[in-house]
Amino acid sequence: MSDKSIPSSAVDALYGLASRRSFLRRAAATVVAGGAIAACTDSSAQSVSAKAADHSGGTTAPNPVVPSTAAAAATMDAMHEAAMKAFPAKTEGMGNQLLAARLENGVKVYELTATQIQWETAPGQKVEAWAYNDQVPGPTIRVREGDRVKLILHNKLSESTAIHFHGLELPNKQDGVTFITQPPVKPGESYTYEFTIPEGNHGSHMYHSHHNSAKQVGLGLLGAFIVEPRKPMAIEKVDADELMILNDGMHGYTLNGKSFPATVPIKVKKGQKLRIRFMNEGMMIHPMHLHGMHMTVITKDGWPVPAPWRCDTLNVAPGERWDVIVNCNNPGVWAFHCHILPHAESDHGMFGMVTALIVA
Amino acid sequence: MSDKSIPSSAVDALYGLASRRSFLRRAAATVVAGGAIAACTDSSAQSVSAKAADHSGGTTAPNPVVPSTAAAAATMDAMHEAAMKAFPAKTEGMGNQLLAARLENGVKVYELTATQIQWETAPGQKVEAWAYNDQVPGPTIRVREGDRVKLILHNKLSESTAIHFHGLELPNKQDGVTFITQPPVKPGESYTYEFTIPEGNHGSHMYHSHHNSAKQVGLGLLGAFIVEPRKPMAIEKVDADELMILNDGMHGYTLNGKSFPATVPIKVKKGQKLRIRFMNEGMMIHPMHLHGMHMTVITKDGWPVPAPWRCDTLNVAPGERWDVIVNCNNPGVWAFHCHILPHAESDHGMFGMVTALIVA
Amino acid sequence: MSDKSIPSSAVDALYGLASRRSFLRRAAATVVAGGAIAACTDSSAQSVSAKAADHSGGTTAPNPVVPSTAAAAATMDAMHEAAMKAFPAKTEGMGNQLLAARLENGVKVYELTATQIQWETAPGQKVEAWAYNDQVPGPTIRVREGDRVKLILHNKLSESTAIHFHGLELPNKQDGVTFITQPPVKPGESYTYEFTIPEGNHGSHMYHSHHNSAKQVGLGLLGAFIVEPRKPMAIEKVDADELMILNDGMHGYTLNGKSFPATVPIKVKKGQKLRIRFMNEGMMIHPMHLHGMHMTVITKDGWPVPAPWRCDTLNVAPGERWDVIVNCNNPGVWAFHCHILPHAESDHGMFGMVTALIVA
């Protein structure tokens, strides 16, 4: 590498604390993942990678400090390849699992228990999480407009908490804002919300803590609250319906609680119609870019847009929900990522807010 | 609190300089406010809070360093409650006051004097401000399309300045950009702008400095410039018409120049139609989230949107204006805040870009 | 200046690393530019500036440390004036040059060579760039829907690379994502992409590296890929068609690869219709504000918006493209800049993401 090159550390410095931490973890994880792959492949990149490793580690090599450009590039490529080959990587835990309701006299009853857990965002990358039912994001609640819903929150955290139903137009007492609409739910206490989903209030909503929320939502106390319409619009009759919950901050850059390569690809068949529900629970915008096909925006915060519009990059701001339709007519493995590139790739390869749409 | 918990200081570190400074001020303010409330209530939270205070201060307590989870949670809750109970807190000064015009031969004459003042953004939290007519935001100018307007700027600052009418399509000489359309208005000088409001150029506009503007607008040289249409659209016939000027940076996170709990709630009667004019004079996006009811977006930068659309979270970028209608049909006290949560809440309770919509 | 004033250094501190570096470079550049102007003008501001310089440098001056308010303001004004007077400043190199195709059996053949160069973003401000054909942004590729295109990439960099065609819906193998759709193109290697532009996929697209992209795009491996429609919409028949590629990060805040005063003004005649194609290749939003006239938004990511809408401030997020029409009916020199003010102005005058629309 020429001495005029900008070193990786300078690039890293631009991206700040959160991503630097991810870079370091990523780098560590990559070495492990790369090793695993080296054991089962013999691609030329891997061989070059091995040679480069000899260079940097060997004391008898003629020029151990300054590897050639080709070797340095190959070493970087090997890290990038290892990250890609690791996808989709297995990790403990899975968020967004559909929460089953208990029916009591026509009321759908849900229980959420908030606890402190360890959450694996990428292989070997465990973070402290505050979670509903041991998941980040919390379990998905899916009801229909007009449903009567009872939701019981059990607080097993060390702080008080409360749940706000973001996007639902409920009676004020059910709004979940401590000291305005309810007292805080103290450690060890339980609290019951009960309400009827208003007519017309269907769509992609969220539930999350509204007490010390910058910390509590940042640590994982959030989930999807989806309200199905009585009469779906023609455009929303789809073959697949996927969540894409964006987050940043204390857990790094995540999609549905996981960082690449532990994110889960969306798999559809050619010709299928896919709905994606974007929700931003973080503190930064994330312009999500889909390769190979465009997205048609059909709802904003659950409300149908008056005239659906198309894009390949959708800017999702904190608190927003956007639903889009993708006509999956282009076969292949398509990158799907935040286009703030430092949220998606480093010198060590792709990480963070990256997944794939696989059209087979 | 478990030793695996993330300490507040780590959370604070993520939010950077501006919010950290607010946190510190907020913490100081909270102690005072909390004390006041402890004197007049006997809620259990307050009692626990008192006990916790004993723990931390007492040298004879059995375990003075590690208060129990319950006590720590109660201490935090008390700070949160104190912040809420303090709302709406009285502070000196009020921005956005309607500026009366002097009529001279059919011309509406306005005078703006720019000076350096101290501005109270929250109780006890005084900051240096550069202000028009001693207000942050400056006084609201409200005219009608076709009006002839004369605006006299008196500069009593230590720097030169100038006024740009952001959103108005004026003759170039009236555009207020120093060294392009006019010379700078030096300290001690006055300068007169005079123009006719163009037909069709109605809506929510702004005026602000366009000389050394990152500093001068950041310090408060900004205000609303509203142009009423000759023939209002049916959708904009409302019962209440409110400004929501967003700012960040040197004065912390503010709504109409004040930080929670000193922000002013919007009060309406059930069934009323409310118009809110969002304007961003800061340097960050602020996705404003209204609880309990949705907003219908009717104009962008003063221009009617071709098809009004609904949302509960509206992303407002620097320089943008968005007007929305809220049909206030859900009674209660509704939180209304920026959904970048670190702009609205800390471990010490809500602060910054938070207010309420009160439907009675 | 009063001792209550906020010093410039405090203002600078709010804006972070990237802009601070720009400030420093800008300050250095301004001294040079100011000197040049002082030699050819005798404006009072310049005389005061000269005096102020004497103060700060002279040891025999009566009060060298605290210049009077008027002198300090005049010194600042002189720096602002120098920046304005320097516009449009000459620099080496020009991006976005139209790339000529070589026709081979009905196929349009383009060649792009990626190399490391020095790029002058503002007078005297040279940065390391990774560039296609020695330009930042790279040369503009302009084709028509249905065209057969062959693009040959020559990699003369020290790292592997690859090209993604952002917005084009190509066969998966042509998508340019290393280790997903192709192997990396190693240093010294060449790689050929070949595809037919899909019908309906016209509009403002981009090409850029998709290997180690946070660094490689940040350093300049990006360009416009414009696809003309077979049948243009009536609204897009224009007299002038301009690119506005936004970037931030390692090269500072740039428009089409240059920082003010080295940005190039857009010049049109009164009554002409202008199309501007905004593209964001950076990692921050940039709400672009046009003075004096409004913009009508006609496409998003190349797709016609169902109902064009008007604005004067358009928020452009990373990866997005927005096309607008301006009816240039207001004569004058109009400021045109990012409305995140620290991206456009410092205590030393305008810099970064600033240009002008000149209607003559």
Q: Is A95 domain-assigned?
A: no
* Residue B109 pLDDT grade (very low, low, confident, very high; cuts 50, 70, 90): very high
Residues 158-187 of A with CB under 8 A from B: 158-160, 164, 166-167, 169-173, 175, 177-181, 184, 186-187
Q: In terms of domains, do A256 and A224 share one? A: no
Verify that B175 and B256 share a domain, yes or no: no
Residue C268 resides in a domain:
yes
pLDDT of residue C121: 98
Residue of C nearest to A7 (CA): C215
* Contact pairs from chain A to chain B, CB under 8 Å: 145
Distance of CA B122 to the CA centre of its chain: 11
Task: From chain B, pick out residues whose CB is under 8 angstroms from the CB of C11.
Answer: 214-215, 218, 250
Judgement on whether residues A63 and A18 belong to the same structural domain of the protein: yes
Can you say whether the dihedral through the CA atoms of A182, B51, B76, B30 is positive or negative? positive
- B220 interaction partners in chain C (CB closer than 8 Å): none
Whether C295 and C351 share a structural domain: yes
- Give the residue on B whose Cα is nearest the Cα of A307: B307
Residue % of chain A over a pLDDT of 70: 81
More confident call, A52 vs B83? B83
CB-based contact (8 Å) between B359 and chain C?
no
* The pLDDT value given to residue B67: 52
- Cβ-defined contact of B178 to C80 (cutoff 8 Å): yes
Distance from CA of C62 to the nearest CA of A (A): 44
Nearest CA in chain C to B214: C341
CA A35/CA A54 separation, integer angstroms: 14
Report the pLDDT value the prediction gives residue B24, as an integer from 0 to 100: 35
**Model-level pTM?**
0.85
Across chain A, mean pLDDT equals: 86
Q: Which of these three, A187, A206, A228, is where a domain ends?
A: A228
Residue C70 shares a structural domain with residue C126: no
Give the pLDDT band of residue B81 (cuts 50, 70, 90): very high
Which parts of chain C have pLDDT scores under 50? 1-66
Taking the C-alpha atoms of residue B153 and residue B191, their distance in angstroms, rounded to an integer, is 5
Any domain includes A116: yes
Most B CBs within 10 Å: which of C26, C85, C280, C313, as the mutation test of the B interface? C313
pLDDT per position as a tens digit, B156-207: 999 999 999 999 999 999 999 999 999 999 999 999 999 999 999 999 999 9
Q: B299-336, pLDDT tens digit by residue?
A: 999 999 999 999 999 999 999 999 999 999 999 999 99
Residues C108 and C200 in one domain: yes
Q: How many domains does chain A have?
A: 3
Q: What is the pLDDT of residue B249?
A: 87
Could you tell me if A195 and A252 lie in one domain?
A: no
Tell me the count of B-C CB pairs closer than 8 A. 144
Report the alpha-carbon distance of residue C262 to residue C254 in Å, rounded.
10
B7: left (phi over 0), alpha (psi -120 to 50) or beta: beta
**In a domain? residue C93:** no
Residues 251-280 of B with CB under 8 A from C: none
CB contacts of C212 in chain A (<8 Å) are: 76, 80, 345, 347
b/e string for B202-231 if b means 16 or more Cβ within 10 A?
Answer: bbbbbbbbbbbbbbbbbbbbbbbbbbbbee
Is residue C95 domain-resident? no
**Which residues in chain A come in under a pLDDT of 50?**
1-66
The reply to whether A177 and A251 lie within a common domain is no
Q: Tell whether B220 and B243 lie within a shared domain.
A: no
Chains with ≥3 CB–CB distances under 8 Å to C: A, B
CB-based contact, C199 to chain A, within 8 Å? no
In a domain? residue C97: no
ipTM of this complex prediction, to 2 decimal places: 0.84
User: pLDDT for B214-227, tens place per residue?
Assistant: 999 999 999 999 99
- Identify any residues that bridge with C274 across adjacent strands, giving them in sequence order: C240, C326
Give the model's pLDDT for residue B1: 31
Q: Spell out which residues of chain B touch residue C330, defining contact as CB-CB under 8 Å.
A: 169, 171-172
Q: Is residue C351 part of a domain?
A: yes
> Domain end: C163, C194, C228, which one?
C228
Residue to mutate among A180, A207, A209, A322, with most B CBs inside 10 A, is A180
Q: Check residue A335 and give its pLDDT.
A: 98
Residue C5: closest C-alpha in chain B:
B128
* DSSP code string of B250-306: TT-SEETTB-BTSSPPEEE-TT-EEEEEEEE-SSS-EEEEESSS-EEEEEETTEEEE
> How confident is the model at residue B4, as a pLDDT?
40
Which A residues in the span 124-163 are in contact with B, Cβ-Cβ below 8 Å? 128, 158-160
Average pLDDT of the segment spanning B88-94: 98
Model confidence band, residue B360 (pLDDT cutoffs 50, 70, 90):
very high
Instruction: Print the domain residue range for B69.
Output: 8-86
Same domain, A17 and A124: no
For residues C209 and C242, state if they share a domain.
no
Answer whether A287 sits within 8 Å of C164, measured CB to CB: no
| Residue C11 sits at the chain A interface (C-beta within 8 Å) | no
Residue C179 to residue A81, Cβ atoms within 8 A: yes
Q: Does C310 touch chain B (CB under 8 A)?
A: yes
Nearest-neighbour CA in chain B from A188: distance (Å): 9
Residue of chain C whose alpha carbon sits nearest to that of A3 = C158
With b for 16 or more beta-carbon neighbours within 10 A and e for fewer, the B338-360 pattern comes to bbbbbbbbbbbbbbbbbbbbbbe
Domain boundary among A168, A200, A228: A228
**A56, A61, A66, A70: CA torsion to nearest 10:** -80
A15-54 residues touching C, CB cutoff 8 A = 15, 45
pLDDT at residue B18 tops 70: no
Query: What pLDDT is recorded for position A67?
Result: 52
Q: How would residue B68 be classed by pLDDT, with cut points 50, 70 and 90?
A: confident
Q: Are the Cβ atoms of C356 and B180 closer than 8 angstroms?
A: yes
Residue A344 near residue A22 (C-beta atoms within 8 A): no
B96, part of any domain: no
Interface partners of B (3+ CB pairs, < 8 Å)?
Answer: A, C
Integer Cα distance of A57 and B199 in angstroms: 74
Contact of A290 with A336, CB cutoff 8 Å: yes
Q: Looking at the structure, do residues A254 and A328 belong to the same domain, yes or no?
A: yes
Least CB-CB distance to A158: which of B5, B77, B356? B5
- Of all residues in chain B, the one with the smallest CA distance to C293 is B169
Q: Which of residues 58-77 of C touch A (CB under 8 A)?
A: none
Summarised one tens digit per residue, pLDDT across range B200-250 is 999 999 999 999 999 999 999 999 999 999 999 999 999 999 999 999 989
Indicate which CATH number applies to the domain containing A107.
2.60.40.420
Q: Among all residues of chain B, which has the CA nearest to that of C308? A: B306
Partner residues linked to A182 by β-bridges? A178
Any A CB within 8 A of B347 CB: yes
